[in-house]
Every structure is written in structure tokens, then in C-alpha cells.
């Protein structure tokens, strides 16, 4: 259940969600990527003082979950419950700051909301029932027209050929809402980011939309799923079920007799400011077309932003359970640490385009930028403060601490640059701004040579002590800004930095009349 609330504030609210994965197999690195990207956005919003809510969960009602349970000789309920826990465990392994986790088969908030959204669309006249004859990809949980498949007859993401399926389902009048969906995206009222993904969605809309199936025969899934209201012979299509989690987690469809049950929905969705989804490119049409149409049909507000990321690959292939290329994030964390994995996601994964994962790249990024860059800068700075000033940070005006020049510019611009980059979910650009401070501080340190200033001070050279104070103050200030701005990306490492840079409570430091730093301790030990 959630732990955060939207409080009265002048700052805009920020509700951010991941897509919810199927639980037919182990979590893989692709799931971890999306969770970390979303966590960075949530932590950054909180760092800037915004009321924030971060939702993730699991998609339990997929047919592939039913098939996996059968193959394992388990009941679907038992199998899903066990697998859901594996995804919950990612919170600790990846140091996630989630406020809520929704399991679609177990959370009591979910089914009433699915049923409520269905009824609203039914009241709008957007359902009809008919027989369907088509090609169904079990991996995508989606019907495809023949022209949408590649030359081999596959969807492009899954190896098995789509199954020819003939069945009678409920259909949603997607075509009725095509013009409105297009207008919402083209106008920017619903922002699909990056622009290349927005253009792909607009091209898909311009090609024309057909109504799509929103239910499945209950016999096909052994009754696993949410029954269609008024028609228990059918269960709600897994994508309808899954998409609805973004609002069911907020109390949508809750008991109207409970006046407080839907407070979260009013605070974070219908009355909220930013409603942001972070998703992979393979499910863009569901979020940027189908989901918008369902909400329009029901008369509900739309998301404000849909950030679309590409894939993590290994050997040029998408990481996936079905392809046998999955990389388990928990095992990576056990071997190399959470900081290394989160930093690799932030630094190696581009805003547009797939990212090739290797252990060598993971280790190199960590050792070069965290160990040799951030860690070395903080270690050198604290060593100098302790040797020259017994751990006491010189008390200089803040203007001198940030100062002019390359270092002052990097420190002064970092918040604005990071804010702009993360508005686009561009973690690489955001961390680049933090790296510029580290690089500038290291160059400043080497140019000013505070160890020589200390020698000159001891020799009684006029002005050497004052200059040393300024240099040390500016370096400590830069390190503290780095620690703060790194906290959304590597929260564990940033916390260790803060322990050294702010070793005592602020009140204690003020009472003593001194601003102290702790002794240098390796924050990011090398991995190789």
C-alpha cells in the first residue's frame, strides 16, 4: 500500500509509474532499467521539493502466466504469488524509493477499478461483441494483422510464430476515438518523449485504427482474470486489465459509500499536475493510443507525459526470458553492487537507441567515473581539509565558495541542467552535468595546488592562508553539490558521501560554531 500523500503545497504534484511486467519468469535487466529510470525521476522530484508518488507492480493475468504455471505443474494462483515476490524483491536490490506496488491478481483495489472503467466505456456505447479470426502473439499478448508481421511471419520481438486464433470477444470502438487521440498527441497535451517516438505514434494513427478485442473466453485462461461485467463467459483482456492499474492504485472505482477511498485518485490523477508513464518501446501503442482512447471513452483525464525508452541488449539481442538472453539484476547487484548497475543505466543508456550491456562496460563506468572521478575528488578534498584545517571547513561567504570560473559555472548551472535533462528522462545528459563539476573540481584542485599553499602558509607567506581557505571551501562546496545531485542516481553512494561531507547534525555544527567534514573513507571502491 502507498506511503506518500499529496500535501497542500504550491509545488506541482508528480505521479510517475512503470509499466507492469508479466511474472512468467525471472526479472531481467530490462525490468531493472525501467525501474531505475523511474526511480531517478521520482527521487529527483522529491529532491526539488515536489509531492511525488512512484507506482510499480506486476501484470498477473496474462495468458503466458497461465501457460508457465501449467508447465511448472502449479496452480496459477500459487505460481503467480511466488513470482510476484521476486519482482517485489527488486526494490531492495536496486535501492528503489517506490511508494506503492500493485499486484493485479491480489490487490483489493484493482478489480473494482477495472470493472468501473469497463462500465464507464460500456455506458459510452464503445463495446460490441463479434467473432474474430486472427494471428495472436502470446509473447506480446496481442493480435496482429498479417502486414504488421515481418517477412518470416513473426512480430519482430518474439521467436514463436503467432497462433491462428478464432474466438468470439468483446471489441472496443477504438476507431471512434482516433481523431481525438491524435489531436491530444499532436498538440502536446499528451507528450510522447522522445520526439522520434511521438512521430512513430502519429504515423501509426495516420495509417488508420481498427477496433480491438478487449476480452478473451474464460475457458482459454481457465477463468484466470477479471470477469467481464455482465458476461462471466469472458475475462477482461490482459492489456485493458494492466493499463487500468495506473488509476486503480489510486482508488479509482472504489466504494462510493466510502468518501475517503478515492482521495488519492483526486489528488494524483484527476486533480494532479503531472501524470507520467515510463515504458519500453514495444508497448508504446498500448499506452499512447489504446490507453488514451479508454480514458477518453470513460471521460477521465489523460496522462501528461509518456517517456519511451529503448532496450538493453546483449550480443545485439533484446534481453528477454523467451529468448534466453535474460540477465538477472539481483545477481549483478550481488557481484558488483547497486551503485555500479544504477550508474551504468544512467551513463550508458541513451535517450534514443538500444544499449549493449557487458560486464566490462559496467565495471569500466564505475571505476572510471565513480571510483577515480567522484571518489578520488572527495578523498583528496577531505584529506587536505584534515591536514590543513583539522577537518574544519573554512567559513567563507557562499559567493566565494561557488565563485567564478569553470568550477563556479559547473556548480551554478547544475540544477537547471539536470532539471531540463530529467524533464526529458535523459539520464545521460543529467549525469553529464554532475560529471562536469567533478572534472572541473579536479582541474581546479590540480591548478591551485592547495598542498603547496599549505607549505607557503606555514612559511609565513602573506595571503597564502586566505587563498588556501578559499580553495578548500570551494572544493568542499563542489563535493557537497555533487553528493546532492548524485542522490537520485546512486542513492546508496550519495548517502555515504553525505556521511563524510556532513558528519554531524547541522544544529551540532552550528552550536560548535564550526562546519566540519569527516575523515576520508573510500566511497566507491574499485571493482577491477
Domain spans of the chain, in order of start: 14-336, 364-516
Contacts of 105 (CB under 8 A, 6+ apart): 60, 61, 77, 80, 84
Q: What single-letter DSSP state applies at residue 184?
A: H
Contact at 8 Å (CB) between 101 and 238?
Answer: no
Q: Answer yes or no: are the C-beta atoms of 350 and 309 closer than 8 Å.
A: no
Q: What is residue 139's predicted lDDT score, i.e. its pLDDT?
A: 61
The span from the CA of 90 to the CA of 85, in Å, is: 9
Q: What is the residue-level pLDDT of the chain in tens, covering all 528 positions?
A: 554 556 555 789 999 999 999 998 899 999 999 999 999 999 999 999 999 999 999 999 988 888 888 889 999 999 999 999 999 999 999 999 999 999 999 999 999 999 999 999 999 999 999 987 767 766 666 666 777 777 777 766 656 777 777 788 999 999 999 999 999 999 999 999 999 999 999 999 999 999 999 999 998 888 899 999 999 999 999 999 999 999 999 999 987 666 666 789 999 999 999 999 999 999 999 999 999 999 999 999 999 999 999 999 987 666 554 444 468 899 999 999 999 999 999 999 999 999 999 999 999 999 999 999 999 999 999 999 999 999 999 987 665 556 679 999 999 999 999 999 999 999 999 999 999 999 999 999 999 999 999 999 999 999 999 999 999 999 999 999 999 999 999 999 999 999 999 986 544 544 455 799 999 999 999 999
Residues assigned a catalytic role = 28, 31, 137, 140, 155, 158, 318, 321
**CA max distance for the chain:** 94
pTM of the model: 0.91
Which CATH code, of 3.90.1150.10, 3.40.50.720, 3.40.630.10, 1.10.730.10, is assigned to 364-516? 1.10.730.10
Return the pLDDT at 462. Answer: 96
In 3D space, the residue among 156, 161, 157 whose CA is nearest the CA of residue 136 turns out to be: 161
Fold of 14-336: Rossmann fold (3.40.50)
Closest listed residue to residue 166, CA positions, set 183, 194, 143, 141: 143
Distance CA 212, CA 48 (A): 42
pLDDT of residue 421: 98
Q: What would the pLDDT profile of 180-234 be if each residue is shown by its tens digit?
A: 999 999 999 999 999 999 999 999 999 999 999 999 999 888 889 999 999 999 9
* Closest to 342 (Cα-Cα) out of 97, 521, 520, 528: 97
Where do the H-state alpha helices sit in 461-526? 464-486, 491-501, 506-512
Which pLDDT value is given to residue 207? 94
Task: Give the pLDDT of residue 156.
Answer: 66
On the 0-12 / 13-18 / 19+ scale of CB atoms within 10 A, 322 is middle
Residues 123-167 pLDDT 10s: 999 999 998 776 776 666 666 677 777 777 776 665 677 777 778
In 93-187, the DSSP E strands lie at: 100-103, 127-137, 142-144, 163-172
Which CA distances in Å does 374 have to 106, 140, 230, 437, 443?
43, 42, 60, 9, 13
Res 404: pLDDT: 72
Cα 273 to Cα 9, 35, 113, 305: the distances in Å are 12, 22, 21, 11
Left if phi > 0, otherwise alpha if psi is -120 to 50, otherwise beta: which for 333? alpha
User: Which segments within 350-471 are labelled E, that is strand?
Assistant: 355-356, 392-393
Amino acid at each position: 500500500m502507498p506511503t506518500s500523500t499529496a500535501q497542500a503545497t504550491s509545488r506541482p504534484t508528480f505521479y510517475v509509474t512503470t509499466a507492469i511486467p508479466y511474472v512468467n519468469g525471472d526479472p531481467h535487466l530490462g525490468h531493472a532499467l525501467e525501474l531505475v529510470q523511474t526511480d531517478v525521476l521520482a527521487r529527483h522530484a522529491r529532491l526539488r521539493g515536489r509531492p511525488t508518488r512512484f507506482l510499480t507492480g506486476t501484470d498477473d493475468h496474462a495468458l503466458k502466466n497461465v501457460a508457465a504455471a501449467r508447465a511448472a505443474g502449479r496452480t496459477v494462483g500459487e505460481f503467480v504469488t511466488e513470482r510476484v515476490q521476486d519482482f517485489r524483491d527488486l526494490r531492495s536490490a536496486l535501492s528503489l524509493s517506490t511508494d506503492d506496488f500493485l499486484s493485479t491478481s491480489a490487490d483489493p483495489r484493482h478489480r473494482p477499478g477495472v470493472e468501473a472503467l469497463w462500465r464507464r466505456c460500456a455506458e459510452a456505447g464503445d463495446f460490441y461483441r463479434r467473432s474474430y479470426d486472427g494471428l495472436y502473439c502470446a509473447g506480446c499478448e496481442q493480435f496482429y494483422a498479417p502486414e504488421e508481421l515481418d517477412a518470416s511471419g513473426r512480430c519482430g520481438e518474439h521467436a514463436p510464430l503467432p497462433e491462428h486464433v478464432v474466438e468470439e470477444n468483446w471489441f472496443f470502438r477504438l476507431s471512434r476515438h482516433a481523431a481525438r487521440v491524435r489531436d491530444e498527441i499532436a498538440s502536446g497535451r499528451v507528450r510522447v518523449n522522445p520526439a522520434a517516438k511521438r512521430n512513430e505514434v502519429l504515423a501509426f494513427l495516420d495509417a488508420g485504427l481498427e477496433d480491438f478485442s478487449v476480452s478473451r473466453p474464460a475457458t482459454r485462461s481457465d477463468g484466470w482474470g477479471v470477469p467481464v461485467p455482465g458476461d462471466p463467459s469472458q475475462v477482461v483482456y490482459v492489456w485493458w486489465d494492466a493499463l487500468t492499474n495506473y488509476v486503480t492504485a489510486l482508488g479509482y472505482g472504489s466504494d462510493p459509500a466510502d468518501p475517503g477511498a478515492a482521495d488519492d485518485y483526486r489528488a494524483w490523477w484527476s486533480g494532479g499536475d503531472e501524470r507520467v508513464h515510463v515504458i519500453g518501446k514495444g508497448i508504446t501503442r498500448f499506452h499512447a493510443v489504446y490507453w488514451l482512447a479508454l480514458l477518453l471513452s470513460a471521460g477521465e483525464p489523460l496522462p501528461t507525459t509518456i517517456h519511451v525508452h529503448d532496450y538493453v541488449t546483449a550480443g545485439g539481442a533484446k534481453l528477454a526470458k523467451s529468448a534466453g538472453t535474460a540477465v538477472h539484476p539481483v545477481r549483478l547487484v550481488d557481484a558488483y553492487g547497486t551503485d555500479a548497475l544504477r550508474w551504468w543505466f544512467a551513463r550508458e543508456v541513451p535517450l534514443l537507441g538500444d544499449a549493449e550491456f557487458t560486464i566490462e562496460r559496467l565495471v569500466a563506468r564505475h571505476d572510471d567515473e565513480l571510483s577515480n572521478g567522484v571518489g578520488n575528488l572527495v578523498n583528496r578534498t577531505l584529506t587536505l581539509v584534515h591536514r590543513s584545517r583539522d577537518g574544519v571547513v573554512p567559513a567563507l561567504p557562499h559567493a566565494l565558495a561557488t565563485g567564478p570560473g569553470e568550477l563556479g559555472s559547473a556548480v551554478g548551472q547544475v540544477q537547471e541542467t539536470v532539471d531540463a535533462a530529467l524533464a526529458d528522462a535523459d539520464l545521460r545528459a543529467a549525469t553529464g552535468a554532475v560529471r562536469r563539476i567533478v572534472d572541473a573540481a579536479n582541474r581546479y584542485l590540480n591548478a591551485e595546488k592547495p598542498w603547496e599553499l599549505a607549505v607557503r602558509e606555514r612559511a609565513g607567506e602573506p595571503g597564502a592562508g586566505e587563498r588556501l581557505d578559499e580553495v578548500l571551501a570551494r572544493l568542499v562546496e563542489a563535493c557537497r553539490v555533487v553528493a546532492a545531485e548524485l542522490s537520485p542516481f546512486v542513492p546508496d553512494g550519495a548517502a555515504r558521501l553525505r556521511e563524510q561531507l556532513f558528519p554531524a547534525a547541522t544544529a551540532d555544527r552550528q552550536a560548535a560554531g564550526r562546519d566540519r567534514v569527516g575523515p576520508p573513507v573510500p566511497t566507491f571502491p574499485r571493482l577491477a
